[in-house]
Structure 1
Amino acid sequence: MKIKELYVYPVKSLRGCSVPTATLTPYGLKHDRKYMIVRVTPSPDSTSPTYESQYVGRVDSLCLFSASILPDYENAKVVRVTYNTPSSNDENPYVEFPIAADYKSLKKVDLSIHLSNCVGYDMGSEYEEFFTKYLGYPAKLVYVGDATREVKGNLAPNQTHLTKENDFDGGGKGWFIFGFFTWVLWCLLGWGRGAKYTIQFADVAPVLVASTVSLEELNSGKREDEKELVLDITKMRPNIVLEPSAPEEMVPFEEDYWAELKVGGDEEEKGGARKIELTGNCGRCKSLNVDYETGKQLPVHGQMLKRLSDMKRRVDTGHGYSPIFGRYGFIAKDSLEKEVRVGEEVTVTKKNEERTIFYWPGLSAGTKPQK
């Protein structure tokens, strides 16, 4: 198989851009998710406000914003965010900011993404005014700078990846036992004392891999009473999209079992082999149902999340009722600062016998805090 497309999302949860080549970093593809929009909620007692990360599925109108890199990826200087005004012939407004901000002089704000804490750097009033105007509520643009977050649960490559095809008996109790067992193994075997993996503004892992063959299967999975609807791969928000190099080389959803990918060969003149370690499934949410033209949820007949569920894609008990599409991954340590390119051959070098089970305390099924 080979790389069909590479995508970078300069601002978390905004529409990203296709690039012909990308540099591999500890935090995914270079320039990916270095900025984020946060909702500002004033404190009732006049202390510091809270800052809540925003994403499509919770705020559907975020899909009306698209981010591009100027003048191009290899000579990146500026990120341009355009607000694609729905139902209007007017010129779409946009705002620009540096691809890498001078964050040392910016104000820090405390952030939490999926119960993993970090900080961001407030980019200032100009951008706050822009996003507040078009989102309709107080919103800031923050830059990641030097901030990193803990990779929780079993997502990091040097953590345990226990697998089990069946649901845990006892619901939350079963997940408690699994979580406790995982913690004991970490302590006894010393996992985590080696290479430390961290992330920045990405949800739970720095890279998402998807397959065109699986997308074709999803798009063919409509019921007889459904209209002909096609889901674009960009709604899956992948970083790396793979396609077969030859007919019948791949089968739908085989990526569920992938553990490691090798990009290219071992020839030094080609940059050597680059490896991506795949550690977890990607559970899907109602962001798949958003109409990118209107920034609103599609009518029932167009909701692709249900179609994915109808195809019996609830195959990861850690994600509960969320159907699975794509695999999360990390860049191997010996592949950092190397490049990957569209058209390069990719080989699956390791597979799991069973599907991994997603475990992230407070996020995975059975571990969410009670309200």
Structure 2
Amino acid sequence: MLYEVPTGTGELKKIQLDTHPLCALFEQQIVPGSQDGEEVIDVRFRGSLPHDTEAGKDSQLLKVPLTPDLSFLERIETNLHGSPASAYRMGDSYDAWFTQRFGVPTILVYLGDGRRAVLGKTLVPKSAQEPQQKGWITSWTSYITGSQGSDGAPWISFSDVAPLMVTSESSLQDVRERLLNGFPVEMYKFRPNIVVDGQGEDAWAEDFWAELQIGNEDGDGVQKSTFQVTGNCVRCVSLNVDYKTGRPADGEDGSVLKRLMKDRRVDPGSKWSPVFGRYAFLDGRHTGGVTVSVGDDVEVTRRNTERSAWDWPL
């Protein structure tokens, strides 16, 4: 997680796409075994530095260890959307790299063994059992999909309010054709983890999805993975960012949020924000790793009769 440290206050301020459009110019990729046999995250910056500096000679690639050694890191208290957690500062070299690109004092924070609570009642999954997994990729998957704390309450990492978001191609097509006059807005603007192609489902059918099963059973007995779909994703000005420039977009590309407001303010708990997509958690009955692949079958196994109501206490 990136935080800005405003001059003079010391109070951390989250760096995210809605307030810092330059986030759109960073790309991340997990690279197994690329640095001394350890897995790293390659972070690339596609833009230019916002001010003249000797740092302009530095590489636009930053390598961040996927599982850093916590014994060398400074603890720091964080708060994201009202859900606090104890975390770790990655160090001066990482802070300097991001500071040079954002043009404001920036620190890189690793959650590590910290946990953030899922707030409110509507987003909380019915179960969030701790998966017992081994291996770097399954452990990482367990980490980002949330789990259960010692008090039995579900937790999340530095995801905003839930570990996963599900959207559908049919709803995106409706936005393009009906609200944006055919403008080809891309799905990446909505930043989902799972995209359903929408066959057999009308646009916006996901508003009422409560549970999905994803995967293809075969002769080897491969089982489908179950996901609990618990709440709506209410949208902000991040939808209007131009991913080529890292700035607010012009024209139709910069009016996505406004157009959605026309008839997508459908969540009774957040009546001023339009909805696109649904938040999801890996079902707690999965005690081992799960695999989801492009092209897997998706089945809606449970639907709500009424719309979810947003109640995260922001």
TM-score bin (small chain)? 0.7 to 0.9
Percent of paired sites with the same residue: 34
Name 1:103's counterpart in structure 2. 70
Contact 1:69–1:76 (Cα < 8 Å) also in 2: no
Alignment partners' CA distance in 1, 2:2 and 2:298: 34
Alpha-carbon displacement from aligned partner over 1:238-285 (angstroms, at most 9, x marks no partner): 1111114x5xx1210100000000113566835312110011000011
Q: Which amino acid aligns with 1:212?
A: E
Which is bigger in relative contact order (C-alpha 8 A, separation at least 6)?
1
Contact 1:149–1:198 (Cα < 8 Å) also in 2: yes
Alignment partners' CA distance in 2, 1:123 and 1:270: 43
Name 1:79's counterpart in structure 2. 41
Structure 1 residue 87: deviation in Å?
11
Alignment partners' CA distance in 1, 2:11 and 2:301: 44
Residue 346 in structure 1 maps to residue 298 in structure 2: yes
Q: 1:357 is matched with which residue: 286, 309, 312?
A: 309
Q: Which amino acid aligns with 1:85?
A: G
Q: Which amino acid aligns with 2:17?
A: V
Point out where structure 2 has 5 or more consecutive residues left out of the alignment.
Answer: 51-56, 128-148
Other structure's SS at 2:162 match:
coil
Residue 123 in structure 1 maps to residue 90 in structure 2: yes
Alpha-carbon displacement from aligned partner over 1:301-350 (angstroms, at most 9, x marks no partner): 4321112222x011002222111000001111122422211111111000
Name 1:38's counterpart in structure 2. 3
Q: 2:208 is matched with which residue: 257, 270, 274?
A: 257
Name 1:200's counterpart in structure 2. 157
Q: 2:19 is matched with which residue: 58, 64, 67?
A: 58
Q: 1:67 is matched with which residue: 28, 37, 56?
A: 28
Name 1:229's counterpart in structure 2. 183
Alignment partners' CA distance in 2, 1:53 and 1:270: 44
Alignment partners' CA distance in 2, 1:110 and 1:292: 31
Q: How many residues align?
A: 282
Q: 2:257 is matched with which residue: 294, 305, 316?
A: 305
Point out where structure 1 has 5 or more consecutive residues left out of the alignment.
Answer: 1-35, 160-191, 364-371
Alignment partners' CA distance in 2, 1:238 and 1:217: 17
Q: Which amino acid aligns with 1:84?
A: R
Structure 1 residue 80: deviation in Å?
1.0
Alignment partners' CA distance in 1, 2:154 and 2:245: 38
TM-score scaled by length of structure 1: 0.70
Residue 317 in structure 1 maps to residue 279 in structure 2: no
Other structure's SS at 1:202 match:
coil
Alignment partners' CA distance in 2, 1:125 and 1:214: 43
Alignment of 1:142-153 (within 5 A): 142-153=109-120
Alignment partners' CA distance in 2, 1:235 and 1:146: 30
Q: Which amino acid aligns with 1:41?
A: P
Name 2:173's counterpart in structure 1. 216
Alignment partners' CA distance in 1, 2:190 and 2:108: 23
Summarize the Cα distance change of 1:50–1:269 in structure 2 as closer, same or farther, 3 Å threshold.
farther
Name 1:163's counterpart in structure 2. none
TM-score scaled by length of structure 2: 0.82
Q: 2:230 is matched with which residue: 274, 279, 291?
A: 279
Alignment partners' CA distance in 2, 1:39 and 1:200: 19
Summarize the Cα distance change of 1:265–1:221 in structure 2 as closer, same or farther, 3 Å threshold.
same
Contact 1:85–1:92 (Cα < 8 Å) also in 2: no
